[in-house]
Amino acid sequence: MPNRLSISECIKLLDNREIKVTELVNAYLREIENRDEEINAFITVTKDEALEKAEELDRKGKRISPLSGIPGGIKDNICTKNINTTCASKMLKDFVPKYSATVYERLLDNDFVMLGKLNMDEFAIGGGGEYSYFKPVKNPYNISHMAGGSSSGSAASVAAFECAFSLGTDTGGSILKPSSYCGVVGMKPTFGTVSRYGVVGFAPSLEQTGPITRTVLDNAIVLSKIAGHDEKDPCSIKRDLDFLQDIDKGLKGLKIAVPKELMDMDVIQRDVRKCYEKSFEIFKELGCQVDVVSMPSLQYSLSAYYAISSSESASTLARYDGIRYGHRTKEYSNIEELYEKTRGEGFGIDVKKRILFGTFLLVEKEKNYLDKARKARTILMNEYERLFKEYSIVLTPASPITAPAFGEKQSNALEKYYEDIFTTPINLCGIPALSMPVCKDSNGLPVGIILSARHYDEKTLYRFGHAFEAARGILK
């Protein structure tokens, strides 16, 4: 089963001509065919294009990049020229862009093989993977559980061996959380590392695109190929792309910070806490020092995140008005009605909630919610900065819970909201973070941790992750 191999293993086989690209691609396509009907990770499978590309690469023989011939999937909010890009929304269900996101072009330039477009929460808003207009994404470890979101298809497809890697996008944990629910490795790079041109977002000050893979090394390989300055994205940064540089250096003498405030939270499930604490032991065995530190401002991060992301979404999603493209209501007698009905019909419930909340914040000017949120953001950044002077990484659980079951009534909206407690500070501060599995809970669902580091220090995250992965062993 070549689709069970890691990217780094595939690279060796492809380099040595021990396997054909066509065989590799066929293995993945078979897996999609067999399994995706229940997982729902894909919205569009580009089977013919994938086979054609594989044959072309086999004919050519020459591998121009480590990613040459490696099959991957793309989250459906990343524009792919001439291929449906739906954002899992009724609003864009027939939208076919005439342009590509820079990050997709980079993959094409590296001769990757495109398998298709991955399911997600509508417009990347939502955390469970159940808010797709088309179908809910199911957790490959247990299909009665969610995959997490919003990059639900991206995480589930990799976990189900339907892709060697995938691209997801992360605004408030949308890569990190589903990766942990599905037991795979997800990276949210430093803000500005991967071009956002052509990525349909909703909160530009928070968003990044990143890879999801089955191993840490694979993840670093993919990031190396998609990162880099792009003049089409004003927030894109010129920086070192040294992600693989320290990956084998080991962890002797490095210091890890564990925020006391998060550890004390009673929303954390018992199994999650157990796995989290187990990760301390593994890191200590690898020669690290684990210190409990205080980050008092973490308590503001959820409110600040929701204020900023919602207000930005109210504005960013305004362009879906039925005038130029996308869904337009059938009957209307004036322009106001056209807007109301188009947007009323085109958007799902979670997107509407976010827009309404954001609009409320923008209209209620006297209360200064947004100013307060921005202040909290600055304070939080300062807190991280202070910590990273002494510590290489901050270690937290990926989520207080493991993947919830469908239909499981969450006791209240607030509990759902707390799912993002560990991820939102990362997006608010633009720092890089790696989500990876530690072990499984009593139901056999994966439990993950998140390592975050100072800006531009993905190489340290990969160093920690790689060592941890080797010590932890394969997740069984």
Partner 1 sequence: MKYEAVIGLEVHVELKTNTKLFCGCRNEFGKKPNTLVCPVCAGMPGTLPRLNKEAVNLAIKAGIGLNCKINKFSRFDRKNYYYPDLPKGYQTTQYEMPLCTDGYIDIGGRKIGIERIHLEEDAGKLIHEEDKTFVDFNRSGVPLIEIVSRPDIRSGEEAALYLKKLRGILLFTGVSDCKMNEGSMRVDVNVSVRPKGLSFFGAKTEIKNINSFQYTQEAIGYEINRHIELYENGKTPENETRRYDEKSKKTYTMRAKEDSSLYMYLPDTELVPLDISEEEIDEIRKKMPLLPEEREKMYVKEHGLSDFDCENILQEVHFAEYFEEAAKLSKDAKNSANLLITQIFSLLESDKVIKIKPLRLAEVSNLMTDEVINSSTAKKLLEKLWEEDFDVENYVKENKLFQINEKDVLSRYIDEAMEENQKIVDDYRKGKKKALKALTGIVMAKTRGRANPRLLNTLLNEKLG
Under the criterion CB under 8 A, does residue 96 sit at the interface with partner 1? no
Residue position matching structure tokens 């979101």: 149
Q: Quote the CA–CA distance of 181 and 129 in Å, as a whole number.
A: 11
From candidates 321, 345, 353, 475, binder to partner 1 by CB under 8 A: 321
| Segment near partner 1 (CB under 8 A); pick from 195-203, 298-306, 416-424, 438-446 | 195-203
Under the criterion CB under 8 A, does residue 229 sit at the interface with partner 1? no
Of 335 and 349, which CB lies nearer to partner 1 in the complex structure? Answer: 335
Under the criterion CB under 8 A, does residue 200 sit at the interface with partner 1? yes
Neighbours of 126 (CB within 10 A): 25
Q: Quote the CA–CA distance of 106 and 272 in Å, as a whole number.
A: 37
From candidates 111, 121, 312, 469, binder to partner 1 by CB under 8 A: 312
Under the criterion CB under 8 A, does residue 332 sit at the interface with partner 1? no
Under the criterion CB under 8 A, does residue 437 sit at the interface with partner 1? no
Q: Which amino acid is at 220?
A: A
Of 184 and 307, which CB lies nearer to partner 1 in the complex structure? Answer: 307
From candidates 159, 258, 370, 429, binder to partner 1 by CB under 8 A: 370
Of 134 and 141, which CB lies nearer to partner 1 in the complex structure? Answer: 134
Under the criterion CB under 8 A, does residue 359 sit at the interface with partner 1? yes
Of 280 and 325, which CB lies nearer to partner 1 in the complex structure? Answer: 325
Q: Quote the CA–CA distance of 457 and 246 in Å, as a whole number.
A: 10
Beta strands 446-452 and 208-213 are: unpaired
Residues 245-304 that bind partner 1 (CB under 8 A): none
Tell me the two tokens of residue 239. Answer: 């920086």
Tell me the two tokens of residue 105. Answer: 């072009």
From candidates 318, 356, 379, 414, binder to partner 1 by CB under 8 A: 318
Under the criterion CB under 8 A, does residue 193 sit at the interface with partner 1? no
How many H-runs (helices) and E-runs (strands) does the chain carry? 16, 13
CB of 233 to partner 1, least distance (A): 5
Q: Quote the CA–CA distance of 68 and 111 in Å, as a whole number.
A: 4
Neighbours of 313 (CB within 10 A): 24
Which residues, other chains included, contact 39 with Cβ-Cβ below 8 Å and sequence gap of 6+?
Answer: 137, 138, 140, 143, 147, 156, 157, 160, 162
Active site residues: 75, 150, 174
Under the criterion CB under 8 A, does residue 365 sit at the interface with partner 1? yes
Q: Quote the CA–CA distance of 232 and 98 in Å, as a whole number.
A: 16
Q: What are phi and psi of 234, to 5 degrees?
A: -60, -25
Under the criterion CB under 8 A, does residue 315 sit at the interface with partner 1? yes
Of 134 and 197, which CB lies nearer to partner 1 in the complex structure? Answer: 197
CB of 102 to partner 1, least distance (A): 10
Tell me the two tokens of residue 314. Answer: 């109210």
Number of residues interacting with partner 1: please give it, by CB under 8 A. 43
Residues 52-91 that bind partner 1 (CB under 8 A): 77-79, 85, 87
Which residues, other chains included, contact 379 with Cβ-Cβ below 8 Å and sequence gap of 6+?
Answer: 297, 300
| Segment near partner 1 (CB under 8 A); pick from 178-186, 214-222, 313-321, 401-409 | 313-321
From candidates 64, 292, 356, 363, binder to partner 1 by CB under 8 A: 363
From candidates 323, 349, 379, 414, binder to partner 1 by CB under 8 A: 323
| Segment near partner 1 (CB under 8 A); pick from 24-32, 108-116, 197-205, 275-283 | 197-205
Going along 223-346, which residue ranges are E strands?
Answer: 255-259, 289-293
Under the criterion CB under 8 A, does residue 314 sit at the interface with partner 1? yes
Under the criterion CB under 8 A, does residue 311 sit at the interface with partner 1? yes
Under the criterion CB under 8 A, does residue 101 sit at the interface with partner 1? yes
Tell me the two tokens of residue 44. Answer: 């569009």
Of 102 and 435, which CB lies nearer to partner 1 in the complex structure? Answer: 102
Residue 474 exposed, middle or buried by CB count within 10 Å (0-12, 13-18, 19+): exposed
Contact (CB, 8 A) for 447 and 437: yes
Contact (CB, 8 A) for 8 and 247: no
Q: Quote the CA–CA distance of 422 and 412 in Å, as a whole number.
A: 19
Note the maximum CA span of the chain: 70
Residues 339-358 that bind partner 1 (CB under 8 A): 339
Positions that interact with partner 1 (CB under 8 A):
77-79, 85, 87, 92, 95, 97-99, 101, 196-201, 204-205, 231-235, 311-312, 314-315, 317-321, 323-325, 335, 339, 359, 362-363, 365, 370
